[in-house]
């Protein structure tokens, strides 16, 4: 089988830790990033699932308001949109409503939203309980993960989400399949992106 390509987008308020998570995913270390992202950055990783090479492109969008209109374009081509918030920042949790509504405006109907609460290492400064977050996500039927950019758990999250996407796709009718593309030749039926 040819390689499969998955495209994801990370969104959320400025400073919540999107770039730090992706830096950890790519380089396996914590980089105390001082600069906010300008526009959109791109990360590429590869993983193996069920003996298939999965090529994953992740768009790291800027949380600053001035870049929001640029970022809207990236929701459309993503099979999963990860909405990130900061467990030590209540506003970033309250703003999930805004991000969910923006994402729903632009994403493909069969693309998925996943919420990640990050900076879990700063336990003393935590502002939102796991119970409250899980209740919120359950009500919206959205999967939730909790992590920080100093652990490797983000690898697990990306692998599990990718595994589930591929599994769900296998059991869907052709007309409902999510858009997956192979590396070079985009197949029409098992298509996407």
Residue 117 engages ligand GTP in binding (rule: CB under 6 A): no
How far from 51 is each of 4, 54, 172, 180, 187, CA to CA, in Å?
Answer: 11, 9, 21, 17, 20
DSSP 65-81: GGGHHHHHHHHHT-SEE
Judged by beta carbon distances under 5 to 8 A according to partner kind, the member of Mg ion, ligand GTP, none in contact with residue 39 is none
Tell me which stretch binds ligand GTP (CB under 6 A): 50-58, 73-81, 113-121, 161-169.
113-121
Q: Which of 6, 23, 2, 28 is nearest to 167 (CA)?
A: 6
Nearest approach, Cβ of 87 to Mg ion (angstroms)?
17
Nearer to ligand GTP, 65 or 174 (CB): 65
Q: Any contact of residue 20 with ligand GTP (CB under 6 A)?
A: yes
Q: How far is it, in rounded angstroms, from Cα 17 to Cα 152?
A: 14
When asked if residue 7 is in the footprint of ligand GTP (CB under 6 A), the reply is no
Among 6, 7, 12, 19, binds Mg ion (CB under 5 A): 19
Name the residues that contact ligand GTP, by CB under 6 A: 14-20, 32-33, 36-37, 62-64, 118-119, 121-122, 148-150
């Amino acid at each position: 089988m040819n390689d499969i390509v998955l495209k994801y987008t990370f969104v959320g308020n400025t400073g919540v830790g999107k770039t730090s998570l992706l830096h950890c995913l790519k380089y396996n270390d914590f980089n105390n990033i001082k600069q906010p992202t300008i526009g959109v950055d791109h990360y590429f990783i590869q993983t193996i699932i069920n003996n298939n090479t999965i090529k994953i492109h992740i768009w790291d969008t800027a949380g600053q308001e001035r870049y929001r209109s640029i970022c809207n374009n990236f929701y459309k081509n993503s099979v999963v949109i990860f909405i990130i918030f900061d467990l030590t920042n209540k506003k970033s949790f309250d703003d999930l409503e805004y991000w969910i509504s923006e994402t729903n405006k632009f994403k493909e109907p069969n693309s998925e939203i996943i919420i990640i609460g990050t900076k879990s290492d700063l336990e003393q400064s935590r502002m939102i309980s796991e119970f409250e977050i899980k209740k919120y996500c359950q009500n919206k039927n959205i999967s939730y993960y909790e992590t920080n950019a100093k652990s490797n758990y983000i690898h697990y999250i990306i692998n599990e989400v990718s595994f589930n996407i591929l599994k769900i796709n296998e059991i869907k009718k052709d007309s409902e399949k999510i858009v997956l593309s192979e590396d070079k030749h985009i197949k029409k039926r098992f298509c996407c992106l």
